[in-house]
Amino acid sequence: MASARCWSREMKPFTAPYADVPDFIYGITREIWEDRGIGGKLDGLYAPNILLRAATGLTTSNVGVTAQTLQTLHQFPDRQLVGEDVIWVADETDGSFLSSHRLVSVMRHQNAGAFGPATNRLVTSRIIADCYVVNGVVTEEWLVRDQAAFARCLGLEPRALAQQLVEQDLRLGGTVGFFLPEHDRPGKYLPQIQHAPEIAACIEGYHRLWHVKDTSAVRGLYFHGAALAVPGGETRHGHMDIDRFYVGYLASFPDGVFSVQSALINRDPGQPARVALRWSFRGTHAGFGHFGEPTYAPVYVMGLSHAHVVDGRITQEWMLTDEVSIWKQILAHTEGRAGA
């Protein structure tokens, strides 16, 4: 449900060195990662009790975010985050805002860690991160990484990486880590679904596809020459190719239930309407499809999407789910281990 607060693209001016919301998001990302602003800088930018909801699991403290950042940089010391877009909306009464940042991680696996011995392989994968920012501090975040692309860059299939991580989780903590809504804690951000015809078209199309399982909706939602970037670092082109992607997921989870948690739109000169969606899909792994032989595992999919919409149809889209975390849920079920 949309909040009753007054959301818009107008907000209080930023103080130097940030000119606006995209500049802030691009800037703090660079300062934390490329400029190594860990510790003091990260302490100032992330709330002590931040709620970071990633497909991999829930983090509830700045200390946890710092630990994850350091471990990633140990394994991938040359990591660069290439920003592609920031779609955002602000609460004009207090200057808080929600941003949806699409970026590509480029790095080389140079040291051993959670992903095994160093391989020196170049890893590129897309990420979308939604951040709720209050007084210049990130208080809540929703994060999906394309770990399927990540796995393939390391020479593994997503299921194989998931198996490796499941065994590691069980060895270190006794339970398999991934995010479920039951693990969540309440935050202060009130879900925002903006009113715009482009958002309505995207939500209606997604509902028909994911919830109703009506794949004829592909032709109404997507321009005939649309490009859809999907998990695994792949891009699908045109109606038939996009249809195959959806059928693969729907066949795996035929009882899946779809819902939208957030929907934003930006209109800027010289660009198509840009829509950011945060959504979920929950069902049972009950059919042969993209995720192989059915196991009847209950699965929760956290989804983040960016779409360019022209004349009511998507011409280009970037859709992220974390297929390694989906596989971890499936493997946890088959091995009789609960997630945490």
Given pLDDT bands bounded at 50, 70 and 90, which one contains residue 39?
Answer: confident
Given pLDDT bands bounded at 50, 70 and 90, which one contains residue 337?
Answer: low
b/e 157-191 (16+ beta carbons within 10 angstroms → b): ebbebbbbbbeebeeeeeebbbbbeeeeeeeebee
Given pLDDT bands bounded at 50, 70 and 90, which one contains residue 15?
Answer: low
* pLDDT, position 145: 98
Domain boundaries, the chain: 7-183, 197-334
Given pLDDT bands bounded at 50, 70 and 90, which one contains residue 147?
Answer: very high
Percent of the chain residues past pLDDT 90, beyond the cut: 86
Given pLDDT bands bounded at 50, 70 and 90, which one contains residue 168?
Answer: very high
Given pLDDT bands bounded at 50, 70 and 90, which one contains residue 10?
Answer: low
Task: Look over the chain and give the mean of its residue pLDDT values, rounded to a whole number.
Answer: 93
Q: Considering the domain 197-334 in this protein, what is its CATH number?
A: 3.10.450.50
* pLDDT, position 2: 44
Q: Give residue-wise pLDDT tens across range 92-140.
A: 788 899 999 999 999 999 999 999 999 999 999 999 999 999 999 999 9
* pLDDT, position 160: 97
Given pLDDT bands bounded at 50, 70 and 90, which one contains residue 258?
Answer: very high
- Under DSSP, is residue 1 helix (H, G, I), strand (E, B) or coil? coil
Report the pLDDT averaged over residues 246-253. Answer: 98
Q: Give residue-wise pLDDT tens across range 158-167.
A: 999 999 999 9
- Closest alpha carbon to 324 in 166, 162, 179: 162
CA distances (Å), origin 318, targets 121, 126, 169, 230, 254: 24, 9, 30, 7, 23
Choices 3.40.50.2300, 1.10.3720.10, 3.10.450.50, 3.40.50.1240: CATH for 7-183 = 3.10.450.50
Q: Which residues are CB-neighbours of 122 under 8 A, at least 6 positions away? A: 106, 107, 108, 153
Q: Which residues are CB-neighbours of 152 under 8 A, at least 6 positions away? A: 158, 232, 233
Q: Sign of the CA dihedral 34, 35, 40, 46?
A: negative
* pLDDT, position 117: 94
Distance (Å, whole) CA 98 – CA 7:
10
Report the pLDDT averaged over residues 241-259. Answer: 98
